[in-house]
Structure 1
Amino acid sequence: MEILSPQNARVKSWAQLQEKKHRDKQKKYVVEGIHLVQEALSSGADVECVAFDIERGIPRELTGIPDTEQGVEWIGVSHAVIAKVSDTPSPQPVFAVVRKEARQWQELILREGGLVMVLDGLQDPGNVGTIIRTADAVGAAGVVLGRGCADVYNPKTLRSTMGSLFHLPVLEGDLLQILPEARARGARLVTTLLEGNRSCFEYDFQGTCWIVIGSEGSGVSPEVAALVDDAIRIPMPGQAESLNAAMAASVLMYEALRQREYSDSKTGH
């Protein structure tokens, strides 16, 4: 199949997916570029269609992926169509339209011993995407985005996840409902405070642990902070006053990974 006119009705509905209200309404989002499309296809995401530059043909990286034929529509499109749907000045030669999957946050809670990252009001798409990518790298059970966070399906967030969005559950919800239930099922909730009484390197991240990261400017909201069990600090013996939110989250995730997989009790050293 081919679509060459940017005025085509389907193209217009794809272009609308640059805006959150239309992503919510259509329950779909767009991923751009060979790498993200490849990740979406190979992870079994609910891909509606893949649109490729008709002059260049289907990128060879996308031709050997198993199960790509199941219900995925392949559409050759003009450069004008790609330019209309893309949110970048120099668009990639391929994009996919993916249906959102309705996941329940309880599936995270039921994962005993899991490490879960919780984001409270984190508005920077790059930070949100980087935390999702790092959570994937350390083998976390998932990521929960509370209200006021950057939309996970925002093109900038998607790009900074580098495809990790397709590797672990990333859920959006109301932390004031989710966190008490997580705690009732045995999760320990921990966050960072500059005046935290313990260093993150003294804290025990074993077991079911949910790490709450607040916004870049104002930290964890008072309502969420009231639900948290422990407040820890990241030591900063130098002169910087704070760390970027994604960097702080990465420090905590890797300390948790070290304790869980590389500590004396695990390695026998």
Structure 2
Amino acid sequence: MADINLIPITSAQNPKVKAWASLLEKKHRDRTGTFLIEGVHLLQEALKAEGLVSIEAIAVDDERGWPEELAGARLPERTPVYALPASVMAKCTGTDTPPPVFAVVTKPRYGHDALLREGGFVVALDGVRDPGNAGTLIRAADAVGADAVVLGRGSVDPYNPKTVRSTMGSLFHLPVVEGDLAELLPEAKRRGARLVGASLDARQSCYAFDWRPACWLLLGNESNGLSPAVSALVDAHVLIPMRGQAESLNVAMAGAVLMYEAMRQRYFDPERRS
């Protein structure tokens, strides 16, 4: 990439810089259909996802130049690459220590087919508002091979910069969609999926529950759990057993435990596989 053409921008008042910085706000991400990715790893993952997303612009720190880790990267044709001072990089990324590179990427577009496939395993977030928790859950869902992640109303925007960073690229590996659970859950039930929620009051252990058939794992708000409307649709509540004195696990930890039990039964337990 020694011959890459870096286009210099020095002012934070540049219209492109203002447009990129505006993507820190949801309303501008929704309006433009684009979002920011920060750092070398996320750019590498976006490049692998060519066809799913388009990279509209790349910006690098002008002092550090093009990252060595991307020396062999093949950029889509006619992708502009800009060189910005660190202070301008910081304005666009909203971080005190800006990354060496960021990019503007189009949002992936998914239909609801992946949510309703026969025998599928879907993770649905009901009012999960913390970007780190949502990103971690998306990453865990990717790790266990879930078919999709749905963020219901009241959940954080999956393209929030903190959420995107927390996914570590998993945002490009499986369908992550926003939807109305009041509409999607009844349809999933009609298609034969069981709706499973975690509850401290449940009597059935998550290890005794049969996760092999089609199911949706429902994970609720950090403070209040599942909303009453969603909880009323749940077919089964399960409990994560705890031997120590911790009162509970946070939603990201609990979700990961449940996802991995589902994966164990589906793929790694020969006695329970049909």
Residue from 48, 61, 67 that aligns with 1:59? 67
Q: Deviations over 1:222-246 (max 9, x none)?
A: 1011111111111123222211101
Root-mean-square deviation (CA), in Å? 1.7
Shift of 1:90: 0.8
Q: Give the distance between the partners of 1:267 and 1:142, measured in 2 at CA.
A: 22
Residue from 99, 102, 108 that aligns with 1:95? 102
Normalised TM-score (structure 1): 0.93
Q: Please tell me whether residue 255 in structure 1 is matched to residue 261 in structure 2.
A: yes
Q: Give the distance between the partners of 1:55 and 1:264, measured in 2 at CA.
A: 55
Q: Deviations over 1:145-175 (max 9, x none)?
A: 0011111111111111111111111111110
- Tell me which stretches of 4 or more aligned residues in structure 1 moved more than 4 Å: none
* 2:186 equivalent in structure 1: 180
* 1:42 equivalent in structure 2: 48
Q: Give the distance between the partners of 1:80 and 1:88, measured in 2 at CA.
A: 10
Q: Please tell me whether residue 83 in structure 1 is matched to residue 80 in structure 2.
A: no
Q: Please tell me whether residue 122 in structure 1 is matched to residue 128 in structure 2.
A: yes
Q: Give the distance between the partners of 2:231 and 2:273, measured in 1 at CA.
A: 35
Q: Deviations over 1:69-92 (max 9, x none)?
A: 235322222323212101110101
Residue from 70, 79, 83 that aligns with 2:77? 70
* 1:148 equivalent in structure 2: 154
Q: Give the distance between the partners of 1:49 and 1:136, measured in 2 at CA.
A: 26
Q: Give the distance between the partners of 1:144 and 1:170, measured in 2 at CA.
A: 6
Q: Give the distance between the partners of 1:247 and 1:24, measured in 2 at CA.
A: 29
Long gaps (5+) in structure 1:
none
Q: Give the distance between the partners of 1:250 and 1:72, measured in 2 at CA.
A: 37
* 1:240 equivalent in structure 2: 246
Long gaps (5+) in structure 2:
1-6
Normalised TM-score (structure 2): 0.92
Q: Which stretch shifts more, 148-157 or 232-241?
A: 232-241
Q: What is the letter of the counterpart of residue 250 of structure 1?
A: A
Q: Is the 8 A contact 1:109 1:185 kept in 2?
A: no
- Secondary structure of the structure 2 residue equivalent to 1:264: coil
Q: Deviations over 1:203-229 (max 9, x none)?
A: 000021110001111100010111111
Shift of 1:256: 0.5
- In the TM superposition, what are the counterparts of 1:153-168 in structure 2 within 5 Å? 153-168=159-174
Identity among equivalent pairs (%):
54
* 1:24 equivalent in structure 2: 30
- Secondary structure of the structure 1 residue equivalent to 2:159: coil
How many residue pairs match? The answer is: 266
Q: What is the letter of the counterpart of residue 49 of structure 1?
A: A
Q: Deviations over 1:161-195 (max 9, x none)?
A: 11111111111111001111111112111001111
